[in-house]
Amino acid sequence: MQAQTEQKQLRIIDCGLADYKQILDLQLKLCEQRRTGQISDTVLIVEHYPVITLGAHKTANRLCVSHEQIRTKGIDIVEIRRGGGATAHNPGQVVIYPILNLFELRLGVREYIARLEQIGKSTLEQIGVISESRNGLPGLWVGGKKIASIGVHVREGVTSHGIAININNDLSIFDLFIPCGLDGVKMTSVFNETGQRHPMIEVKQKLYPLLIKSLSNEYDECKTWL
């Protein structure tokens, strides 16, 4: 990947379908490059092979079965440093990882999370689902069901991790743990709510202008493919 030093350009990188650990390593590399000014603000868009991630809040990581039982289903388990509890990723879910300098954008963490929620709301609305946020519970909800999860990490003003939105994915993976450590939470998806499947390329095309509008005020779009 060629670093870009022009700080007024937002890079949007479509990573396709990728292993979670591979993208985690890429995030860490890009975060360090962003902190040292080697690259401009960057957003990764990705689908993951099945994985359950455990957040920094240990009490919110509540598995319903053993690690061994999860792995026998072909699902990886990864401990990471982000807010929130356990969540899951699998194909058919779009995941957005912004690597941004909040100082330069003059954003606080709460405002940044609100912008992630707005990106999710606007994307979902365009494909037929009306969602809402809840005070103190980052993410998006459709009635009493959760359709998008947010967990972020900020170090020296630079963000990592982000938002995952359920589009067409298999929701049975969420039966293996208590999502975000919240009792009684049921997960849903665009497919569950509408009965319609949306190609991921269609979802991504709707995301690009929303990312530019919400995460920068003057940046030009630049797409790079891995």
| Alpha-carbon distances, residue 142 vs 120, 186, 209, 222 (angstroms) | 12, 10, 24, 32
Distance from C-alpha of 57 to C-alpha of 23, rounded to nearest angstrom: 21
Distance from C-alpha of 221 to C-alpha of 13, rounded to nearest angstrom: 11
Tell me if 53 sits within 8 A of 87, measured CB to CB: yes
The domain locations on the chain are 9-216
Main-chain dihedrals φ then ψ at residue 101, nearest 5 degrees: -95, 105
Taking only the tens place, the pLDDT of each residue in 161-215 is: 999 999 999 999 998 887 766 767 899 999 999 999 999 999 999 999 999 999 9
Tell me if 186 sits within 8 A of 112, measured CB to CB: no
Which residues are tagged catalytic?
Answer: 180
CATH of domain 9-216: 3.30.930.10
Taking only the tens place, the pLDDT of each residue in 97-148 is: 999 999 999 999 999 999 999 999 999 999 999 999 998 888 999 998 999 9
| Alpha-carbon distances, residue 20 vs 25, 27, 51, 63, 138 (angstroms) | 9, 10, 7, 19, 22
The b/e string for 76-104 (b: 16+ C-beta within 10 A; e otherwise) is: bbeebebbbbbbbbbebbbbbbbbbbbee
Strand partners, 45: 14, 96
Q: Which of 210, 203, 121 is nearest to 167 (CA)?
A: 203
Q: For 190, how many CA atoms within 13 A lie in the half-sphere containing its CB?
A: 24
Q: Where are the alpha helices (DSSP H) in 37-131?
A: 67-72, 102-105, 109-126
Taking only the tens place, the pLDDT of each residue in 14-62 is: 999 999 999 999 999 999 999 999 999 999 999 999 999 887 666 666 7
Strand partners, 171: none
SS3 68: helix
